[in-house]
Every structure is written in C-alpha cells, then in structure tokens.
Structure 1
C-alpha cells in the first residue's frame, strides 16, 4: 500500500487548492514545495478577484468567474474584501456600448455583494480628485481585492487541518512510475522515499522542467510570461481601486496596498530561463511609472519605486488554456495516474482544484465537492462583518495599535484569537521587531504557517518588509535561526 493517495508537487495557489480539496475528501495527501509556499507567481499575482467582461470565453466564462469571486468573498471575508473600482473612459477603454453591457451583466452576477456598477462623472466624485484629468466619464464597478500569497497559505493551513502533510523545503528530485509513484525527496537536506497512488504536477513556471527532469515525461507545450508590479507611496486616500486601459490595449491597476502604499501593475512580457531568478526589468518599471504619471496628479520618479514584485506563470496558448487554466489527467495501462494543473488566475483556482478532483474520481472513492461552502481558516466572521470584528478585537487588545490590529485581522481573521491566546498585557507579546511584529506572532507563523526564514514572514505571510528597518530584519533573522532546528527536525521526519 502506498504511503499517500495523492502527492502534489508545487506549493502555489493551484497546488494548495487541490491539497485542500483532496484532504477534505479524506484522501491521504502530501504536498511538496521546494522552497516556501507562494514563493513563485502566487506572491506576485494580481490582487484583483474579479469577473471582467473583457475576459475570453464569453458569458459562460464571465458567469463562472463571478461565481468564484463570490465564493472567495463568502468563505474568506478577511482575505478578500469588496472595493469600488473605477476605469476612466478613454481611447483604450473599448466601445462604450460593450462596456455598458458588461456592467449590466456584472451587476446581475454580483447579487448585491459588491458596490453597484454604473457610469460616474469624475468631476463630482472623490475618485476624480487625484487624477490629472478629474473630469469626464468613468465606469465604476465592484471587485474583490486580495493578497494571493495569503490565500495560498490559508489553503495550505486548511489542507493540513484536514489531514494533509505539507512539506516545505522539500524538493522532489525523481519520480518513478509503476502502478504507484515512488518519489525521491530531498526534505531539508535529508533524502527520503515516499510513495503515492497518484501524483499532481502543479509547479507553475516549472511545469515543463519538472515533467522533463523529474517525471521524465514529455513536457506540456506551454510558453511562460513574467508578470511585474511595483509598489509606491500611497497615491490616494480612499480604499478603492483604479484600472486604466492603455493605448496598447493593456490594463494597469492601481490599488491600495498595506494601507500606506499603492500597488501598480500588471505588465507582462515573455520569459525564458529559471523562474526562481525572475526580477522586474527597468523598462517595466518605467512603463508602469509612465502609466501612473499620465493618470495621477502626484508625479513619480524611478526612485519612488519602493518594491517590485515579479512572478512567472504559464501564458494562454490560443484557446486551449484560458482564465480557467489547464487540468489534465494522463494514465497508461497499469500506470499510476498523473494530474497536470497549470495556468489560470487566482479567481478560478478553487474551481480548477475541483476539476482536478473530478478527473481523479475514477481512482478514489470520494464524497461530493465541498469547498464552495467551507470557510477558510479565520473566515468564520459573523455575517462577514470584518469591521465589526475588528472593533471587537480592538476592545479586547486595546494596547495594540490600530494599524497592527487592522493588519492582523485581515491576515488571520478569527484566528487572531489563537495567535493572541494568553496575551493580556504588552509584555506577553515578547520582543518586538519594529513597531508591528512581535515574537508571539513569529512563533505562530513558524508553528502554524511553515515560516522558516525572514522573507517568509515579511514578504509572504505579511508585507512588513515595506516598513521594517534593516536592523529589525537582522534581529528577526537571528530570532528565527534559534528556532529553526526545532521545526526543521520535525519537518524532516515528516511530522509537519
């Protein structure tokens, strides 16, 4: 008998979503991630969770995306919040009649969960005050806003709580296939052999190289794209978002980011090479700054770029791979099944995982789909009222600053109660790393969310790297090193 029913290579949103779905159907699941969860494209993905009328696939695809957006907002209200988005009308916005039709459909599909769609006059709207041309018409509609890295990690947490083993720092170096899969894994420096009835390749930008070098199978015919975004100081005071259509037909968003900043993106270019070495090119930074300077009153210089995010994802190839991505199952006579999953955006990741489980259904007895109605960890906020919950947390822990509590509620939801269990006075938090991160929270992230290194904490479990001083990052690194051998030994044994 194999050690697991399903082994998954890849700890991005696709991989953790299928791990969550499979574990919730009582399959024995192992997820292998060579680095950190969400360390690839998921940490640099667009934050917009939306049903875009311009997306390919017509009304049916639009309906699917709207349904998935609603699932995220209902099951993870702390991670996906509704915001008003404005798109000024201009030469790049497309035919106005088509956009109006899209807005009508958008409103019908939103079921009242998002700000109403319509046409606004920027002269009389707060959205127009920060624009270089604060007049004219704009389309206004509702979208969800999320940090996809946090979504990824919460899917992994849910999978683990339902019985999945999540191994980070564990690289699958060889997979031998017979009636089962035998995997050679270097798990934090120690070589292990594990077996599984089925295998899923959900390695994103590494999908082809893993197929060729680890599985020793023909690689999927894909092309890779680099997505780039930049972070600048906050350009507007409201909590809404902007989408600008450029003359080249691109869409560039500007959204609130960690309260004090603005995230501008996305620009995409073809990519070749190792996805682990991806970085934002200077021409991409210049392009995004140019779009911002053409639209916002506040001028930006290259030196105003505080941080840049880049990730590699599988591009659409004709009509074969679209927003829903690709899910395919391959099995020869007497051979264990191989599930391949790649592409798609964050909005439809849950649906991709569900499709993957449907493909595996002939091989495993399993109950019906369940993730559309199950809250992610921390998402059981009464009536989804994140503001009311934050107010209650503020009264319970009044010594925590408002900004800190706001960040923690959005990051953990009701799990903030687990994190702050036993905290009665500030000293219970332990040493502080800067003004916003306590040793108490770092221990929680190490023990409950697989954080191993400083970057895991300040760039994926949070974005505190934007504000944390270098000396505090050094102190955090030393603190985490003192605990690394404990969590490392446990992981190497396969306990975590």
Structure 2
C-alpha cells in the first residue's frame, strides 16, 4: 500500500466513511483508518431512521430539519435497498402538545423541503383505523406522517466500499497513534491489529473519531477549542408488540419522544434515551433504569405494557454532540460543527463535532469542500446523484426490484431473498456468484447465512469476527441459534487467517 496521501481520515463511522468516499471521488488520494470495525460504535447503534427530526422544530433548528428532510429524498435515490419509506403514527395526548401545535409542526415538516416520494401528513380517527389496534382505548386520535428507515451500519460499509472502489485505502483494526505536523503535511503513526506500526504521510487530516474526537485531537497535538458532550442513547428489542409496518412516535410525560419501530420481521425496536455518559464509549450499555424507562413510556399509550423481563436484546450508542451549553441533554443540538485548525504555513486539520446519520452526506460534502480548498483542489460535489453499491435499480422501486430478483432466483426462500435484497440490492447476483440452488451456496450456518455470503462479507466488506457479521453487516444475531453461531466463529477463525495473508 502507498504511504503518501492527500488526506487521512480518522474514524470509520458514518462521517469518516462518507468523507473518505467524497474525497476520493473528487480526486484526493485518501486513507481511512478505523481502530475497530467500520461503524462499530455510534453509527451502528442509532434508531435506524433517516428523518428530519420532528421534535427539533420546537428548538427552532429549522436549517437542520430542512437539510435532513432534503437528504431523505437523496438517500432514497442513491441507496434504495437499505433506505425505505416508513409511516409514523403520532398518537395525540391532549395533556401534552396541543393539536394545533402538532398540525403546525407537521405542515412545516411537509413543506420545509421538497417532498417527492413520500406521502404527506394526515389526521387519523383511531377507532376506525388499524393503526389504533395497539393503543389504549382512550387514545382516539392520531397523526400520521412519513420518514425513512435505514440499515445504519450497512450505510457505513457501503460508503467505505465505494471509497475503496475509487482507490481509497480503508484500514480497519488500525489505530491512529499520533501525528506530527510540518508545512508540507502530517507524518502519521498507525498500529495494526497485530501490533505492527507504520508511518504514512498526508497533506491534510480529518478528525472524525466520534466519541473519541478529543483523544484524536490530543494525539495530533492540536489545540482543542471546542468540546463534545457524550450522551448515551439506549434501545431495547422486544417480541413484536403489534402487527403492521407502521412505527409509532410517542410523546412521553417528560416531553421527550420514544419510537416503537417494527424490527427484523418479528420484533419491536424501542428507543431512545438521552443520558449523559461518563467513561469509555466502548463500554456503553443499556442500564436497567433505561430499559424500565422505555417500557414505561410504551405502557402509558399501548394496551399492553411491555416488561423489561421481555427484552431480548439491547444496544447503546454514545452521541458525540457539540457542546453548546444546553442544560438538558435532549436539548443539545444534533447539528454538526466543522472546525479548522490550520495555523499559517501549517498543514490543515479539520475536526468534526456532532452530526446525525441523516445528514452525513451533506456533512461530508462540506468537509471535503473545505479541505479541498485548503489543498487547492476543491473539486465538484458529486455524491448526491451517484448510487451507493447495490443501489442501481434501473428505474425500479424496491418492491419491483425484489419481484424481479424472485423471478431470477425462484429457489431462494422468500424470507432469505427479502433480506439479501435489502442488504445487497443490485449486487445480489454478485453475492450469489452463479449459484442455482441452496446447496450451491456452501455451508448453511442458519438464519439464511451461507458460506457464499460469508465469503463476500470477509473479502469485500472487511468482516473479521462473528460480531461483525451478526450485528453490523446483518442483524442475524437475533435469529441464529447458538450452534450456528459457534460454526460461524470457527469458520471466521479460518477466514480471518486467510484474509490476513
């Protein structure tokens, strides 16, 4: 691998991967370094939503909401296999926000940005509508509006894959140890998983280390003028609480909102919390208090109150929010802030604070524009129209593409086909690699995962461990039994050795 680059990006979450893709596509030779797995922290622990943020309107963050709403349409175009529309039901509780306020907010939500593919908001009489079935009888009215679902960790991987396909170096399990700056650039020290150290030169650095942004600043010996606030968002997964593809957004008594989202076919995903986090973000866990809080929030409005004993899985992510001085963690801005550190005659450093997954592409576009300008090669923005890997549907929508895939591969079980289309999109045939039967896909680990798919994940998507495969490249950890997971771990032990060679 080369040891000189225009740009080195620290952090393989959604912001780092998006910046690496954009920069490489503009002709800046780019190296992306990630200490663990791609999307291994905050970016795989989101609420899985591409949304404008309805509640941010109350905080007057109109620019953030407008930008996020516009990005829904962009991401639906460039990644239709992993981003798809979802209808959200907002039950009305008169003791909370008044009806006029909700109507006004939804009107703004529908009109702040151009809406092409998503239906607008509407009022619903719940006693005559299927959406009312899970809700308490006394809740008679609701509003419905549209946002989008995203496979968050796959969005990270696909950005990294596209960056690599365009020539970027993507180094996972590679730690950024530090850097020395001079007029011509940065000398960066890296350490791989085996403990080997190396140096690379880069004309510019981008610090997109997320919860570890301040540590990366210190390692680069940069002056940290801004700070982040670490806020933990926890989610719980329960057996499905209702039938249907709709999600619910519940106004809680503390004026926060809690989402209840259909998940993985037979579960409900509930989140999120906003709790100040102390300590290493890698140790973030959903506390019993957070699980109880989420269950209680649902129980206030659903006919059946879930109990924490029913939880089958939890996950937590730590949001590195730009510290704007707000007292309430829920009120801290979710907007991103980019700060340049480039003293006269010195190589540039750009640090990313905050941000949300919905606006990652716009963040990357702005970051690369600023770094490119500092290097005298700003280039032209391009990511708004270029599909991510698997996103070339040839004019079809997702149901149409899935139906065509079923005609080509009638031997694939419907549930397996649906999952693979929503993971690989137009790359499905490349993943199957000419197979015409289940037997042709190699070892069956369970839950529809086969040796052929595993080889793709290891060879093309940097998967190295069972956790990478089961909880980030997919969510098959919810479906695969212990015996299948043991066989997978054994196979990955061999695959990781082969890949390392």
The bucket for the TM-score relative to the shorter chain is over 0.9
The question of whether the paired residues in 2 share the 8 Å contact of 1:209 and 1:219 is answered with no
Alignment-derived partner of residue 492 in structure 1? none
The question of whether the paired residues in 2 share the 8 Å contact of 1:123 and 1:134 is answered with no
Alignment-derived partner of residue 182 in structure 1? 187
Alignment-derived partner of residue 453 in structure 1? 465
The question of whether the paired residues in 2 share the 8 Å contact of 1:328 and 1:356 is answered with no
SS in 1 for 2:300: helix
CA distance in 1, matches of 2:377, 2:222: 29
Alignment-derived partner of residue 436 in structure 1? 448
Alignment-derived partner of residue 370 in structure 1? 382
Q: Deviations over 1:340-371 (max 9, x none)?
A: 01311111111111110121123131421111
The question of whether the paired residues in 2 share the 8 Å contact of 1:17 and 1:350 is answered with yes
Residue of 323, 331, 344 corresponding to 2:342: 331
Residue of 94, 99, 104 corresponding to 1:96: 99
Structure 1 residue 419: Cα displacement: 0.3
The question of whether the paired residues in 1 share the 8 Å contact of 2:228 and 2:353 is answered with no
Alignment-derived partner of residue 329 in structure 2? none
CA distance in 2, matches of 1:316, 1:188: 31
Report the CA distance shift for 1:352/1:419 in structure 2 as closer, same or farther (over 3 A): same
Does residue 228 (structure 1) correspond to residue 228 (structure 2)? The answer is no
Structure 1 residue 139: Cα displacement: 1.4
Deviates more, 1:293-302 or 1:147-156: 293-302
Q: Deviations over 1:34-87 (max 9, x none)?
A: 000011101111222112343144433332111111111111111111111011
Residue of 416, 419, 422 corresponding to 1:410: 422
The question of whether the paired residues in 2 share the 8 Å contact of 1:53 and 1:99 is answered with no
CA distance in 1, matches of 2:225, 2:454: 40
Does residue 140 (structure 1) correspond to residue 139 (structure 2)? The answer is no
Superposition CA RMSD, Å = 1.8
CA distance in 2, matches of 1:57, 1:107: 16
CA distance in 2, matches of 1:386, 1:58: 32
CA distance in 2, matches of 1:404, 1:466: 15
The question of whether the paired residues in 1 share the 8 Å contact of 2:234 and 2:317 is answered with yes
Residue of 253, 268, 271 corresponding to 2:274: 268
Structure 1 residue 339: Cα displacement: 0.9
Report the CA distance shift for 1:413/1:240 in structure 2 as closer, same or farther (over 3 A): same
Residue of 349, 366, 371 corresponding to 1:355: 366
The question of whether the paired residues in 1 share the 8 Å contact of 2:447 and 2:479 is answered with no
Report the CA distance shift for 1:464/1:306 in structure 2 as closer, same or farther (over 3 A): same
The question of whether the paired residues in 1 share the 8 Å contact of 2:222 and 2:341 is answered with no
Return 5+ residue gaps in structure 1 as ranges: 490-496
The question of whether the paired residues in 2 share the 8 Å contact of 1:116 and 1:142 is answered with yes
- Pairs within 5 Å for 1:161-240: 161-179=165-183, 180-189=185-194, 190-215=196-221, 217-218=223-224, 220-240=226-246
Deviates more, 1:317-326 or 1:115-124: 317-326
Count of matched residue positions in the alignment of Structure 1 and Structure 2: 489
Structure 1 residue 131: Cα displacement: 1.2
Report the CA distance shift for 1:393/1:294 in structure 2 as closer, same or farther (over 3 A): same
Calculate the TM-score normalised by the size of structure 1. Answer: 0.95
Alignment-derived partner of residue 354 in structure 2? 343
Alignment-derived partner of residue 249 in structure 1? 255
Q: Deviations over 1:94-113 (max 9, x none)?
A: 23222212222233335241
SS in 1 for 2:228: coil
CA distance in 1, matches of 2:3, 2:487: 43
SS in 2 for 1:276: helix
SS in 1 for 2:491: helix
Report the CA distance shift for 1:450/1:134 in structure 2 as closer, same or farther (over 3 A): farther
SS in 1 for 2:345: coil
- Pairs within 5 Å for 1:15-26: 15-26=16-27
Report the CA distance shift for 1:93/1:195 in structure 2 as closer, same or farther (over 3 A): farther
The question of whether the paired residues in 2 share the 8 Å contact of 1:128 and 1:134 is answered with no
Alignment-derived partner of residue 494 in structure 1? none
Report the CA distance shift for 1:93/1:404 in structure 2 as closer, same or farther (over 3 A): farther
The question of whether the paired residues in 1 share the 8 Å contact of 2:237 and 2:268 is answered with yes
Deviates more, 1:324-333 or 1:263-272: 324-333
The question of whether the paired residues in 1 share the 8 Å contact of 2:228 and 2:320 is answered with yes
SS in 1 for 2:105: helix
Deviates more, 1:451-460 or 1:375-384: 375-384
Alignment-derived partner of residue 478 in structure 2? 466
Structure 1 residue 439: Cα displacement: 0.6
Structure 1 residue 274: Cα displacement: 0.6
Alignment-derived partner of residue 435 in structure 2? 423
CA distance in 2, matches of 1:448, 1:93: 49
Where in structure 1 do 4 or more consecutive aligned residues deviate above 4 Å? none
CA distance in 2, matches of 1:455, 1:223: 28
Deviates more, 1:237-246 or 1:355-364: 355-364
Alignment-derived partner of residue 12 in structure 1? 13
Q: Deviations over 1:170-192 (max 9, x none)?
A: 00112111121111111222211
